[in-house]
A and B are shown apart, each in its own frame.
Chain A
């Protein structure tokens, strides 16, 4: 059983559309991170959220951390082909140091 459940597993949309990716758990986290990974590359850190209810914006990407610090979402506005990739959420359990990753959401944005 995955500690972090991501949904959907796959998402294919047209350029200009919006999308949301979800990351859920029954565990409480001290922080949660989102990464994007392109084929043949390692994951690249996008953002870290720390406070329950926190919202962070990175250009067209909006990240939200749930009030109870058990879940998070990533929303992309007006998606572009360059947004294509595997989106991963990751978090350490409270008091732990190692990151546990979700299985990822593969996003494909068609031109």
Chain B
């Protein structure tokens, strides 16, 4: 597709349930980012991939969060044993790198009940 695609758009999970969020970046984009955004706030960095290599995972809030990009294209953010504080919008962005700006998907709104 022409843009970054994320699925699902909305996810409701019961506390303790595992979830997997998918990101299809723009074809050819080397860099891929995951961000977490609380309502009315700016996105907060979670993790960064350059091709298939996860170069930075310093923003992941706990070891319940795991991200992968095995073939350097599609990425999955997995959250194990979800907690209510995990409720947020999870944004994926891809970029050619450098100063060329990032292109964001529509996000996945996760609600943990």
Also in contact, A48 and B48, with CB within 8 A (given A88-B42, A103-B42, A104-B41): no
B33 surroundings in chain A (CB, below 8 A): 98-99
Q: Could you tell me the distance between the alpha carbons of A23 and B24 in the complex, rounded to whole angstroms?
A: 31
A45 at the B interface (CB under 8 A)? yes
A62 at the B interface (CB under 8 A)? no
**Which of A98, A100, A103, A106 is B48 in contact with, Cβ under 8 Å?**
A98
Also in contact, A42 and B105, with CB within 8 A (given A99-B33, A101-B43): yes
Q: Could you tell me the distance between the alpha carbons of A30 and B101 in the complex, rounded to whole angstroms?
A: 12
Tell me the B93-113 residues at the A interface (CB within 8 Å). 93, 97, 99-107
Contacting pair B100 A48 (CB below 8 A): yes
Also in contact, A33 and B97, with CB within 8 A (given A43-B43, A97-B48, A101-B44): no
**B43 and chain A: residue at smallest CB distance:** A101
**A103 and chain B: residue at smallest CB distance:** B42
Q: How many residues of B contact A (CB 8 A)?
A: 26
Chain A proximity of B53: nearest CB distance (Å): 12
Tell me the B21-75 residues at the A interface (CB within 8 Å). 31, 33, 35, 40-45, 48, 50, 55-56
**A34 and chain B: residue at smallest CB distance:** B101
Q: How many residues of A contact B (CB 8 A)?
A: 26
The listed residue with most B CB atoms (<10 A of its CB), out of A48, A50, A86, A98, is: A98
A35 surroundings in chain B (CB, below 8 A): 104
Contacting pair A98 B43 (CB below 8 A): no
Contacting pair B40 A86 (CB below 8 A): yes
Contacting pair A45 B99 (CB below 8 A): no
Contacting pair B103 A50 (CB below 8 A): no
Contacting pair A104 B40 (CB below 8 A): yes
7 contacts between A and B (CB under 8 A): A35-B104, A40-B106, A42-B104, A88-B43, A99-B33, A99-B102, A103-B41
A residues at B contact (CB < 8 Å): 6, 30-31, 33, 35, 40-45, 48, 50, 86, 88, 90, 92, 97-104, 106
